[in-house]
Amino acid sequence: MKLIPEWYEHQYCLIAWPCNKDLYGDIINNARDEVANVINEIAKTERVIVLSNKEDINEIENKTNHENIDILECKLDDSWMRDIAPIFYKEDEKLKSISFEFNGYGKYPDYLNDNKISKFISNYLNIPTKISDLVIEGGAITYDDKKNLFSTKNVIFNKNRKQKHNSEYIIEELKLLFDLNYIFFFENGLMEDDTDGHVDNLLCPIGKNKYLIATTHKLDPNYEILEKNKSDLIKFFKDTNQTFDLIEVPLPTRKKINNKNIISSYINFYFSKNKIILPKFNVKEDNEVKLTFEKLFPNREIMMLETENINYGGGNIHCITMNVPKI
């Protein structure tokens, strides 16, 4: 069994159409426009499957404009596909998946439909799936091509996840499920992150022993958290005798929408075929980060899309997508 890194070739991209009006309020149409832009951009190079409640299908058809898009009717509570989709892996030269439990981050009561999506997707794609009783969101884990998995203690072991097992069991079960050598846990994620600190705002392995890591300046309230994250990760790699190259990616300047602090990170991007789709925040860091990515990925087009309204809901491009690997 082998986890397949995100920069490997994709068969499909999965996206869920925003439907939680309580979450987005009067900007939900703006968020939908931004999601449609993401769909249309990804569909230029890979097939996109958009999951949607029945009442929203006509709107999707009107806002998306590429023949490389399929719309799949289902029942959704929210739109964070990364967290509710299955985790895909390779075994015996075949694509398989694991369906974890989802409990609305332990704080939102409407999650029962979303908890069924993982199995629904596997059945639709005709991919064999294992069922796990661990509560794991897709955005809570990331992994490289060296049998390392990375997560955040304050997410996986948070009491609100209501895990049925203790931390030792969870660690050993994840190692067994994914044939891992090591699991590394950051202590904390970004402050005020609605997910309690998903790792996909903090770290992204990109291959060849390189890792993008979120950093910030001393006046940012996340400074101490991110500095500790960096030093802890360096210690982990050294203690396990692994070669590594950390590339620092600054957080964007903090913004508010409707008096709400927006939790943002450029790490929350999507690997698409021959391109990388980055969030754009219209702040000074945008150009710096785009140049960094252009140097790191000379063979990929670096595309920045405005996602301020998606971000208001609590996530970004990585959160609304899930890549289905091609075997």
Q: Is pLDDT above 70 for 63?
A: yes
Q: Is pLDDT above 90 for 25?
A: yes
CA atoms of 266 and 286, how far apart (whole Å): 9
89, 132 Cβ separation under 8 angstroms? no
Residue 8: what pLDDT?
96
**% of residues, the chain, pLDDT over 90:** 96
**What confidence category does residue 1 fall into, taking pLDDT thresholds of 50, 70 and 90?**
low
CA atoms of 165 and 25, how far apart (whole Å): 37
Q: Is pLDDT above 70 for 143?
A: yes
**What confidence category does residue 65 fall into, taking pLDDT thresholds of 50, 70 and 90?**
confident
16, 78 Cβ separation under 8 angstroms? yes
pLDDT tens-digit readout, 216-242: 999 999 999 999 999 999 999 999 999
CA atoms of 89 and 74, how far apart (whole Å): 24
Residue 302: what pLDDT?
98
Is beta strand 203-207 parallel, antiparallel or unpaired with respect to 182-186? unpaired
Q: Is pLDDT above 70 for 151?
A: yes
**What rounded mean pLDDT belongs to the chain?**
97
CA atoms of 267 and 251, how far apart (whole Å): 9
Q: Is pLDDT above 90 for 259?
A: no
Cα dihedral sign, 176-113-63-57:
positive
Give me the residue label for tokens 């059945």: 123
Which residues have CB under 8 Å from 276's CB, separation 6+?
269, 270, 293, 297, 300, 301, 302, 303
150, 141 Cβ separation under 8 angstroms? yes
CA atoms of 22 and 28, how far apart (whole Å): 9
Q: Is pLDDT above 90 for 257?
A: no
Q: Is pLDDT above 90 for 79?
A: yes
Which residues have CB under 8 Å from 211's CB, separation 6+?
144, 203, 204, 205, 233, 244, 245, 246, 247
In this prediction the pTM is 0.97
Question: Whose CA is closest to 318, among 139, 190, 191?
Answer: 139
pLDDT tens-digit readout, 112-140: 999 999 999 999 999 999 999 999 999 99
CA atoms of 322 and 46, how far apart (whole Å): 12
Q: Average of pLDDT values for 58-65?
A: 95
**What confidence category does residue 29 fall into, taking pLDDT thresholds of 50, 70 and 90?**
very high
Q: Average of pLDDT values for 291-311?
A: 97
DSSP string, 237-254: HHHTT---EEEEEEPPPP
The partner residues of 49 in beta bridges, in order of sequence, read 14, 70
Domain boundaries, the chain: 2-325
**What confidence category does residue 89 fall into, taking pLDDT thresholds of 50, 70 and 90?**
very high
Residue 258: what pLDDT?
86
Q: Average of pLDDT values for 285-296?
A: 98
Question: What are the E-state strand segments in 25-139?
Answer: 47-52, 69-73, 87-91, 94-101, 129-135
14, 322 Cβ separation under 8 angstroms? yes
Q: Average of pLDDT values for 274-301?
A: 97
CATH no. for 2-325: 3.75.10.10
pLDDT tens-digit readout, 177-218: 999 999 999 999 999 999 999 999 999 999 999 999 999 999
Long-range contacts from 162-169, C-beta under 8 angstroms, 24+ separation: 162/103, 162/106, 162/135, 163/134, 163/135, 164/133, 165/133, 165/134
Q: Average of pLDDT values for 31-55?
A: 97
Q: Is pLDDT above 80 for 103?
A: yes
**% of residues, the chain, pLDDT over 70:** 100
